[in-house]
Every structure is written in structure tokens, then in C-alpha cells.
Amino acid sequence: MDKTFSQWKKQCLSKVDLSKKGSVDEDIEHVVSLINSCEEYFTTSSCSGRIILVDAAPENSDVQKQNCIWLFVSHQNCTSDDMMSGLAKSSGDAVLKFEPFVLHVQCRRLEDAQLMHSVAINSGFRNSGLTVSKTGKIIMAVRSTHGLEVPLSHEGKLLVGHEYIHFLTQIANRKMEENLRRIHRFYHNLQSAVTTERLQKLQIPGPPSSQELQCSPNRVETEEEKNKISMYRRRRKREQHQTGCYHGDASTSVQEQDYCLDLFT
Amino acid sequence: MDKTFSQWKKQCLSKVDLSKKGSVDEDIEHVVSLINSCEEYFTTSSCSGRIILVDAAPENSDVQKQNCIWLFVSHQNCTSDDMMSGLAKSSGDAVLKFEPFVLHVQCRRLEDAQLMHSVAINSGFRNSGLTVSKTGKIIMAVRSTHGLEVPLSHEGKLLVGHEYIHFLTQIANRKMEENLRRIHRFYHNLQSAVTTERLQKLQIPGPPSSQELQCSPNRVETEEEKNKISMYRRRRKREQHQTGCYHGDASTSVQEQDYCLDLFT
């Protein structure tokens, strides 16, 4: 199983990146490097987060449903002029979306995936979750509740004013900034968690393998990091409690809180 | 472990439903009943999906960030008059959201969770995933990529026209209808999958326990259902392939396709 995992990792990391861009997004290069430097993990896909304006065929058209045109894409903050020039090209139903950081990580063992999942949840990526395939592949998907999806035009006709586009651009940019803050938290929490795991392994009789010390070899866990980790464990427990045994408007408290956090933090 | 699971199930299902509504949403009562009639599963939270208008304190205000007011909530289709009356009450930053079906299912064993996960993915709930806690609790979260989040007012001032609100209402209602179609698919796929599992168990020497036949005891898997299941397996493989070893704009194809499916199917 471990052998299979290292084979998968070698094979995946040696492949050409088949994404449009062909490389990892700048804002998450350090995250992807940290993960791939750990023997327990490797990344299979990622996107740092983006503001995207897509033009889709109107519902009543015969055009194939998957046929979407990108009017504008940015992995950084953007201006309302960027939006307006994108919208000027719309001939269908244009929709502005903010798509947050997404990352797929293949994990060696279930406990490795649990650690990665806990770090993701506690960094604000509440929709993260595992996939366990029958062939033994364990993938942890880092996902946020943090989004924006705003229809703006119909059959090429803009349905809102410039003032609204300006307001919307500010909101999309704020979401992009919050997304970067969460990526930053994720990176530091992962670094702390991985270091803690390493230190725990060091307490087990027998010297660690060189691989076990691969992740940030010069780092020593600080008191602050230790406190952070225990705080995250407490928060995680609280979140699990919130979703326990509720039906009807079950997810209200969590969704409502997410919404507020998303829009304002 | 099995004993612990049945204890958890008994305890959870005997609890008072602590949600605002205090009961399971009408449109998913049959789904929740099917799941809870299976010894391998029980539901811990659910929401059938809703159109919700929330009013949040503007970013620059001192009001506590979690402080959101519900201006309007509907688990069914709604009218632009509903929206307008809700918006009339806004004194902060109102946002219209479509929140799709969400369901949390505690699963007895990992393989039970894998089956539930596969059914969810193949019914269109692409953001579904597992959580495995250190205490052995396995929760499968059924989540959709299907959403809408549209800021509409700032400091109580409406930023868009009535025509746009009317257009938006139609889109929200279409998403609600697509959400119901996915719930329907999920119910039937789960029923087929559970029946297949039962039939497979029947081939193992020794009679099944009465519990093993608890789920829809009178159903026999039809040819159509068998074909459905194998088709879903093929689709699932394709989806896994789509997210394999891509970085940069990794999730593009999937997200773009989701967007189109979401808006038009």
C-alpha cells in the first residue's frame, strides 16, 4: 500500500501539468511545495482562487449546455473596468463568480488525511472532505463555503447599473483577500501540524528516517503554535457539535455564520 | 464498534430535533426515512434547500459580525413580490442566496460511507465528502456545487431594479427545481444501491438478518436500476479522472461544467 502510494506520487508529480496555465498558481506555490515535500501527501489539482466572468448560452437556446465562454478571469483583485470590458463581450447570460481556493491532496493513510482535513477545517475551509476510492486512493479536497455567483446579463443585455458593478467588484476583491488570508492560515496550520507529528514520531524509540524529517527540517514548534493547534481542536469540536442531530433548518447556524464570516472577515 | 454505532444511532434518533423548524423538511422526509431505515446509516442534520434573503451589518459598522437578520426564507419557489417585501425590510447589506440540499449522514463502516458518497456524487452532489473523526465517527456530507449569492442592497439602499429582481427570482426558482430533481435522483440511486448491497449479501451463505432486509423489503432491483448503477460507476470514474493531476486552472473543466449544469439543467 505504501509502495503503491509512493509509486502514485512519483507518477503524478512527474506528469506534465495539463491545466490551461500549465503551472501551479503563484499564491499557492509554497502550499503545494510544503505538501509535496511530505512523504504522506501529494497534490493532484489546485486553484488559488479566482474572479471569473462566464458567458453561457441562454436557457432557451439550442447551444450545447456545457458551452460556456470565459469573458474575464483573474487570480488577483480586479477593477470595475475589467468587469465592464468583460461584460461588453457578453452575447448570452453572463455570470460573475468568485471561486475560492480549491486543492486536492492524495494522502498515504487515512490518519494522514484526517490531519490534513482537520487543518483545512480549522483554517476556515468548512466544505473540505475526503474521498476514499475502492482502489485505496484517499483524496482530501480542500473547499471553502466562500463564494459569489451573480447573474449580470441576459441574452447579452446588461441587467444592472455601473454603480452596482463597482459595488460587486469591491465585494469580489474582499472575498479574494479573505481567501488569501485563509490560504495563509492553512499554510501555517499545516506547517505546525506536520511539525507536531514529526516531534511525536521523534519520541518513538528508533531514529526517524530522513524522509520523516523532510518537512521544514529547521522548524521547531513554538508555544504559540502549540496553543494554536489546541485552539483549533477546540474549534473543530464546537463545529462538529453545531452540525449534530439537527434537521429542518439544520445548517442554519453554521451557514448563517459562514455567510457573515465570508462577507465581512 | 458496531455496538457503538447502534448506540449513537439510537441516541441521535431519540433526541428532540433542535432545529428552528423542529422537524425534517417535507421534500426530504422520504430520503431521511430511507436512510434511517438502514442499519448502516442515520442522518444527523439536513436541509432540503432554500432561497434565503439575509440582512447583514455593513462592513464598516461596529455591529457584531455574526449578526445577520433573515428577511425572507422559503423552501419552495418564490415570487419577486416575496423578494421585494423582504428587501423593503433591509437596513444593512442584503444578500440573496440559494442554499441547496445539505445532508449529514453518520455511517457504520467506511465502506458504507463510500457507497453513500458514490451515490451522492453520481446524483449531482459533487461537493460531497467524508469526515472521519478520531473517535471513529464517520460522517458523509452531501453537498452541491449548486448555489447563488447575490448582494442586493448596501446600508438599506437597494442597488438593483425590479426587472433584475424578477430575473433573479426566476433563476433562484430554476435552481430550486434542479435541486429537487437531484434529490429525486439521490433517493432513487440510494434505493438501487442499497438494494444491490442487500442482494449481494443474500448470495453469501447463511440467511440475512431481519435488519439486513429492513430497507425497502419489497423492492427487487430492476434491469434499469442495474444499468443505472453501472452508468453511475462510469460517470464517477470520468469525474475522478477530470480532477486528476491538474494545477493552475485545475478545476476549470469541472467548475465550468458544473456552472452550466447548475444554471440550465
What is the pTM (predicted TM-score) of this model? 0.78
Distance of alpha carbon B40 from alpha carbon B140, whole angstroms: 12
What is the reported pLDDT for A264?
24
Interchain contact, B102 vs A244, CB within 8 Å: no
What is the reported pLDDT for B22?
81
> Which of B249, B253, B260 to mutate against chain A (most A CBs within 10 Å)?
B249
What is the reported pLDDT for B217?
36
- A39 to A68, A172, A199: CA distances (angstroms): 39, 36, 15
Residue B255: list chain A partners with CB under 8 A: 99
Structure confidence by residue, pLDDT tens digits, B86-99: 999 999 999 999 99
- Give the start-to-end residue ranges of the domains of chain A: 2-201, 219-262
Lowest mean pLDDT, pick from A2-6, B107-111, B124-128, B182-186? A2-6
- Say if CB B24 and CB B36 are below 8 A apart: no
What is the reported pLDDT for A59?
64
Q: How many contacts, defined by CB atoms under 8 Å, are there between A and B?
A: 243
> Which of A149, A236, A253, A265 to mutate against chain B (most B CBs within 10 Å)?
A149
What is the reported pLDDT for B221?
42
- What is residue A5's three-state secondary structure? helix
Structure confidence by residue, pLDDT tens digits, A111-137: 999 999 999 999 999 999 999 998 889
Kindly report the backbone phi and psi dihedral angles of residue B144, in degrees, each rounded to the nearest multiple of 5, phi listed first: -110, 160
pLDDT at B64 over 60: no
Structure confidence by residue, pLDDT tens digits, B180-195: 999 999 999 999 999 8
Interchain contact, A46 vs B97, CB within 8 Å: no
How far does A212 lie from chain B, in Å, by closest CA? 22
Interchain contact, B127 vs A143, CB within 8 Å: yes
How far does B257 lie from chain A, in Å, by closest CA? 6
What is the reported pLDDT for B96?
97
Interchain contact, A263 vs B95, CB within 8 Å: yes
Considering only CA atoms, which of B52, B72, B146, B136 is closest in space to residue B102?
B146
- Considering only the beta carbons, identify the residue of A21, A66, A259 that sits closest to B68: A259
Interchain contact, B130 vs A132, CB within 8 Å: yes
Interchain contact, A174 vs B43, CB within 8 Å: no
For chain A, state the CA radius of gyration: 21
Q: What is the mean pLDDT of residues B33-37?
A: 95
Residue A24: list chain B partners with CB under 8 A: 247-248
What is the reported pLDDT for B246?
65
Q: What is B2-201's CATH topology?
A: SSo0622-like fold (3.30.1960)
Distance of alpha carbon A230 from alpha carbon A225, whole angstroms: 9
- Say if CB A119 and CB A84 are below 8 A apart: no
How far does A218 lie from chain B, in Å, by closest CA? 28
Residue type, A218: N
Q: Which pLDDT band, with edges at 50, 70 and 90, does B2 fall under? A: low
Q: What does the DSSP assignment read for A73-102?
A: EESS---HHHHHHHHHT-SSEEEEEEEEEE
CB atoms within 10 A of CB A3: 7
> Which of B245, B261, B265 to mutate against chain A (most A CBs within 10 Å)?
B245
- Considering only the beta carbons, identify the residue of B44, B46, B260 that sits closest to A66: B260
What is the reported pLDDT for A57?
83
- Say if CB B53 and CB B94 are below 8 A apart: yes
Residue B32: list chain A partners with CB under 8 A: 247
> Which of B13, B45, B60, B154 to mutate against chain A (most A CBs within 10 Å)?
B45
Classify strands B41-47 and B68-74 as parallel, antiparallel or unpaired. unpaired
Structure confidence by residue, pLDDT tens digits, A60-88: 555 545 678 999 999 999 999 999 999 99
Interchain contact, B68 vs A240, CB within 8 Å: no
What is the reported pLDDT for A94?
97
**Residue spans of chain A under pLDDT 70:** 1-2, 59-66, 204-246, 248-265
- Considering only the beta carbons, identify the residue of B19, B104, B247 that sits closest to A24: B247
Return the H-helix or E-strand segment holding B223.
helix B223-242
Percent of chain B with pLDDT over 70: 72
